[in-house]
Structure 1
Amino acid sequence: MWTSGQKVSYMVVTCHFVDPDWLLQKRVLNFCNVPPPHSGFIIADTLQKCFVDWGIENKEFTVTVDNAKANYVAIRIFKDIFRLRKLLTIGGKLFHVRCCAHVTNLLMQDGLGQIGNIIDCVREGIKHLVASEGRLKQFSEIMKQLQLPSKKLILDVPTRWNSTYLILVTAMEFKEVFSRFQDRDQNFQWVPTIEDWMKVKNICDILEVFNEVTNIVSGSVYPTSNLFLPEVWRMKEVLTAKSVDRNEYIQAMAKKMNEKFEKY
């Protein structure tokens, strides 16, 4: 489910299946407008219609959704229907799959909240820069003077944690440019302190692992059911180690994320 910039709500249904040659296939089965309210019953009805239209109402093995409450209700409805028909493999234990990438996103949103003020500072600074061609030109000139690689400043998408990671990694490469740009533009007030940049560096070392995990489990052209468990364990090992880190802000971040990890 997603909502466009015009506030129109859509549902996209994607099917993964193994063909007779044992190759993984992926098809979009439906892309349709779903007016609000997006209750579990409406989601279930829309999915059911899609299954019937394609003649696959008896062929679902698993359904993967994010962790919205309405999705939980919708899958519970399907589970009850399929259980009555005795169509569920392993008693339905594998039927409802919570999206591993979405769970990782929820973990990271909690963790990044520990440096929310620093992220806001970097984000607002970049917004100020990209809003003017002249500012960007000045920024580029400073980069050349410092012999830094030519890279574009990027803005993140709040709903995708790893885009926030990328904005921080990119900004770290330009930390010297930020302070020098302030000398040229007195209106530029978004310069993290040395201590803030150190926090960003230490946290990005952790985020790099979670970014790799997100990219692996988000793959759509290869099977991920055999990959996600080692990656989940990898996240757990990082959280366990960082929960006793010598830096209190790292400890706080790891403990906050671990609470959400244990929940799922």
Structure 2
Amino acid sequence: MTAATGVSCFIHTLQLVIHDAILSQRTVSDIVAKCRKIVLHFNHSAIACTKLKTIQESLKLPVHKMIQDIVTRWNSTYYMLERLYEQRKAVTMYAAEHDIPTLTVYSWGIVENIIRVLKPFEEITKQARSDEELISFVIPAVTTLNSYLNKRQKDSGVQTLKDQLKQSLEKRFLKPTSGSSMLEQKHFTFATLLDPRYKDHFLKDSALVKENFVLELVRNDNNMHRTSASGDAELPGNQEAQEHDKASKTLHDDIHEDIWQCFDEISKSK
């Protein structure tokens, strides 16, 4: 798996986590649907947009257009809610004179809390999409999101959404029903281990990961040597076994010392 493939897979799975969670709570899905109708009204009427702009200017709000979401892309729904919440005073004033769906004070509060819950996911997704980010970012990202969801915060009206996000995050990343969890897959754990930004903070058992990493290097090196030596003359009997064991032990020690010396040097230089 390449770094690009790993990050892309992570982003896609995160999309599924959030999409499922948004649909899990009837109150949330109903409010999102109502917000979608409000935005649709402005996006289908130039007159409505002009009137809204006048109200925005009178209230000294940013003159921003509404954002229409794409149902299959949760982050577009997030941006729609964020923009609508920013313009809630202008929309409420407009609704007082026009026949459009309206939100109560309680519903606006739920919109605020939806944004509050989803904001970290939006930031993580944006960071993961950046050209600079590596596959080593995946484990820290999931660990951070899981920690965030377990903290007490304003969640009135969106507790089911939070609970479903936690369950889906665990199901898809941390405790899958089949196969190993992401935290146990070597391409993710090794990448995190070799990133000095994360190695000391985001691996539950860094010593075990280190050991597995060294063993993987030794295994790959032995396979290479075995392939290259397949045409060479073989040593007789016990002498062959003894020399092979000696070489393997020396190789293991050398790789262990060299790789972690480099690792420590990189870590200390940061």
TM range (shorter): 0.5 to 0.7
| CA distance in 1: counterparts of 2:71 and 2:51, whole angstroms | 27
| Structure 1 position 128, deviation (Å) | 1.1
| CA distance in 1: counterparts of 2:22 and 2:11, whole angstroms | 16
State which of 117, 121, 134 in structure 2 corresponds to 1:210.
121
Matched, 1:148 2:58: no
Structure 1 pair 98–167 and aligned structure 2 pair: CA distance change class (3 A): closer
| Structure 1 position 111, deviation (Å) | 2.6
Paired residue for 2:44?
131
| CA distance in 2: counterparts of 1:144 and 1:222, whole angstroms | 39
Matched, 1:158 2:71: yes
Matched, 1:240 2:150: yes
| Structure 1 position 64, deviation (Å) | 7.1
Matched, 1:198 2:109: yes
Greater RCO, CA 8 A, separation 6+: 2
| CA distance in 2: counterparts of 1:195 and 1:229, whole angstroms | 36
| CA distance in 1: counterparts of 2:88 and 2:81, whole angstroms | 10
| Structure 1 position 62, deviation (Å) | 4.3
Paired residue for 1:34?
none
Q: Deviations over 1:52-93 (max 9, x none)?
A: xxxxxxxxx44977xxxxxxxxxxxxxxxxxxxxxxxxxxxx
| CA distance in 2: counterparts of 1:173 and 1:151, whole angstroms | 9
Paired residue for 2:9?
99
Q: Deviations over 1:29-69 (max 9, x none)?
A: xxxxxxxxxxxxxxxxxxxxxxxxxxxxxxxx44977xxxx
Paired residue for 1:168?
81
State which of 164, 176, 179 in structure 1 corresponds to 2:92.
179
Q: When the two structures are aligned, how many residues end up with a matched partner? A: 169
| Structure 1 position 104, deviation (Å) | 1.3
Paired residue for 2:170?
262
Q: Deviations over 1:179-230 (max 9, x none)?
A: 2112222x22x111100111111221121111011111223x2342121111
| CA distance in 1: counterparts of 2:125 and 2:34, whole angstroms | 25
| CA distance in 1: counterparts of 2:117 and 2:103, whole angstroms | 20
Question: Max radius of gyration: which structure?
Answer: 2
Q: Percent identity?
A: 25
Verify the 8 A CA contact 2:15 2:74 in the aligned structure 1: yes
Paired residue for 1:252?
160
- Unmatched segments (≥5 aa) in structure 2: 173-270
**One-letter identity of the residue aligned with 1:256:** Q
Structure 1 pair 179–98 and aligned structure 2 pair: CA distance change class (3 A): closer
| Structure 1 position 249, deviation (Å) | 3.2
| CA distance in 2: counterparts of 1:97 and 1:138, whole angstroms | 43
**One-letter identity of the residue aligned with 1:161:** W
Paired residue for 2:140?
230
Paired residue for 1:19?
none
| CA distance in 2: counterparts of 1:106 and 1:237, whole angstroms | 19
| Structure 1 position 241, deviation (Å) | 2.1
| CA distance in 1: counterparts of 2:158 and 2:45, whole angstroms | 36
| Structure 1 position 112, deviation (Å) | 2.0
- Unmatched segments (≥5 aa) in structure 1: 1-60, 66-95
Structure 1 pair 97–198 and aligned structure 2 pair: CA distance change class (3 A): closer
**One-letter identity of the residue aligned with 1:257:** L
